[in-house]
Amino acid sequence: MAEPVIKLENVWKIYQLGKVELVALKGINLEVAPGAFVSIMGPSGSGKSTILNMIGCLDFPTQGKVFLKGEDISLLTENQLSQLRGKTIGFVFQEFNLLPNLSALENVMLPMIFQGMSEEERRERAKALLTSMGLGERIFHQSPELSAGERQRVAIARAFANNPELVIADEPTGNLDSVTGKKIMEILTDFHKKEGKTIIVVTHDPNIANYSEEIINIKDGQIIANHLTASKVLWQR
């Protein structure tokens, strides 16, 4: 098997709430192969977002290791990590994805600024992405002038801006009606198929999970089973 895009090795996350310890992740082991489409499911509070933060290199484990393309992220400086994250990972959150003061176009251009892309290149790519999302008419609108579905599409366009290897989405359809949600998932699946990008989605919705090739179930900070809907099991506990 090819080198996993992301690998979690015995990852623990413990939050210190005053004197009480809250163990959010209990020794997670996980590998995601390049080009996979993975869903993470589980009840509220089970630790899905926490895992996703580890995968997205937004947070560090209390114990254990995270490897992004084979590189131990705990060895990187904050700035190196930002750089790597911006280049390798695209993010779509449930809501409030966009910078409200910037237009759709500028939001999509933002990650490319941090990678030092030229203004012209940025503009071209952002326009192309937004147009492919069916937002060609909306590029100068700011987020308050967009519908929830449109905002999510802008967010997806932005997630793909730097042509990342991995896109992670935390309940990207959680705030949308089922029709719009379906559309968003189709866009994601489309990108996955066309570009062969790795996608990891956290969701509550079994219908959404059906788009993916693999489902990881989480409960109380532990992976309880890997539902196999695709061809192979990447990790069996």
Partner 1 sequence: MAEVKEYFHIAIRNLRTRSLRSWLTILGIVIGVFLIISLLSLSEGIKQTINQQLRSLGGEMIFVMPGDISNIMAMFTSGAKLEKEDIGAIERTRGVETVLTMSYQSLVARYGQEGKMVFMSGLSWEKGIEIMERFQGWSLKQGEWPTPGKREILIGKQVETEIFEKPVKVGSEIVIKGKRFKVVGILNSLGSKQDDSSLYLDLSLYQDLTGEKRGAAQMAMVKVRDGSDVNKVAEDIKENLSETRKRRIGTDVADFSVITSEKMGDIAGSIMAVIQFAIIAFAGIAIVVGGIGIMNTMFTSIRERTREIGIMKAVGARNSAVLIIFLFEAGIIGFAGGIGGTFLGAGLAKAIEMYGQVHPLFYFSASITPGLIVFGLVFSFLVGCLSGFFPARRAANLKPVEALRRYE
Interface residue with partner 1, options 1, 20, 75, 116 (CB under 8 A): 116
**233 binding partner (options partner 1, Mg ion, ligand ATP, none; Cβ < 5 to 8 Å by kind):** none
Query: Please, which residue, 83 or 222, has the CB nearer to partner 1?
Result: 83
Separation between Cα atoms, residue 98 and residue 124, nearest integer Å? 19
Q: Is 107 in the site for Mg ion (CB under 5 A)?
A: no
Query: Please, which residue, 130 or 218, has the CB nearer to ligand ATP?
Result: 218
**151 binding partner (options Mg ion, ligand ATP, partner 1, none; Cβ < 5 to 8 Å by kind):** none
> What token pair was written down for 102?
């910037």
DSSP code for 98: S
Q: Is 173 in the site for Mg ion (CB under 5 A)?
A: no
Q: Is 216 in the site for ligand ATP (CB under 6 A)?
A: no
Question: CA–CA distance from 206 to each of 13, 16, 132 (Å)?
Answer: 26, 32, 27
Q: Of residues 149-208, which lie at the interface with ligand ATP (CB under 6 A)?
A: none
Q: Which residue has the tokens 């750089």?
A: 83
Question: Degrees (nearest 5) of the Cα angle 121, 95, 169?
Answer: 70
Percent of the chain that is helix, strand, coil (3-state, to 5): 35, 30, 35
Span interacting with partner 1, options 28-36, 75-83, 146-154, 205-213, rule CB under 8 A: 75-83
Contact 41, 229 (CB under 8 A): no
Site string for partner 1, 170-209 (x = CB under 8 A): ----------------------------------------
Span interacting with Mg ion, options 48-56, 116-124, 155-163, 226-234, rule CB under 5 A: 48-56
Question: CA–CA distance from 15 to each of 62, 92, 128 (Å)?
Answer: 9, 24, 42
Contact 146, 156 (CB under 8 A): no
**24 binding partner (options partner 1, Mg ion, ligand ATP, none; Cβ < 5 to 8 Å by kind):** ligand ATP
Burial 97-115 (b: 16+ CB within 10 A, else e): bbeeeebbbbbbbbbbeee
Span interacting with partner 1, options 2-10, 30-38, 114-122, 124-132, rule CB under 8 A: 114-122
Residue ranges binding ligand ATP (CB under 6 A): 15, 17, 22, 24, 42, 44-50
